[in-house]
Amino acid sequence: MSPAQASGWVGELARQHLDAAYNLGRWLLGNEHDAADAVHDAYLRAERAAQTYAGGNARSWWLAIVRNCCLARLSTRKRETHLHSVDGPATTHGLTSEVEERVHAAQCNTLLAGHLRALPVEFRETLVLREIEDLSYREISDVLGVPIGTVMSRLARGRALLQKSLGASPAQEIGHGM
């Protein structure tokens, strides 16, 4: 594929699946600023990798790059938090995103969102891809780079954990807004 073709289609791909990318970023990184930066990094990385794209499901390919950029950011953040731990937990949230976070939380099922956020990352990302982005097992396995069997066991474990934590909290909250 020629470079001219490459830059066209990656931009189109990123535009088309920008919400999916950002949503995954938000659930992995927790705030608007980091998620947006990670998606931007991912776009640049995708442009550079466009030549090596071997066909197949383009959305999975794009989301896999987004995820890698998010995980890279997560590990840097962990290092920084560790360094600054004397000053208390690092706050990466800007004021606007905190306000937005609150507005958003008020709009949705806060309890469920809280429990989902509290899940270990491997279960959280698998559930987000399956339930919110509606990816098939095959697509999730492509994004995460794990076998389908692992996707299935993570979904099962994630769902069980979520059901357990929901069961432990006031039940009437579940199903709000259904």
- The residues of the shown chain that bind other proteins, judged by CB under 8 A, are 1, 3-4, 7-8, 10-11, 14-15, 18-19, 21-23, 26-27, 32, 35-36, 39-40, 43-44, 47, 54-59, 104, 107-109, 112-113, 116, 127, 130-132, 136-138, 147, 152, 155-156, 159, 162-163, 166, 174-178
Contact assessment for residue 63 and residue 24, using Cβ atoms and an 8 Å cutoff: yes
Question: 118 or 132, CB closer to other proteins?
Answer: 132
Establish how many alpha carbons lie within 13 A of residue 34's alpha carbon, considering only the half-sphere containing its beta carbon: 22
Could you tell me if 114 and 165 are in contact, meaning their C-beta atoms sit under 8 angstroms apart? Answer: no
Closer to other proteins at the Cβ: 68 or 165? 165
Nearest to 18 by CA among 62, 82, 84, 70: 62
Distance CA 157, CA 175 (A): 21
Q: How far is the CB of 63 from other proteins (least distance, A)?
A: 13
Shortest gap between Cβ of 88 and other proteins (angstroms)?
27
Integer angstrom CA distances of residue 109 from 47, 128, 131, 159, 175 = 37, 15, 15, 17, 8
For residues 27 and 125, which CB has a smaller minimum distance to other proteins in the complex?
A: 27
How many CA atoms, within 13 angstroms, populate the side-chain half-sphere of residue 140? 26
- The distance of closest approach from Cβ of residue 112 to other proteins in the complex, given in angstroms and rounded to an integer, is 5
State the minimum distance, in angstroms, from the CB of residue 31 to other proteins.
10
CB of 163 to other proteins, least distance (A): 6
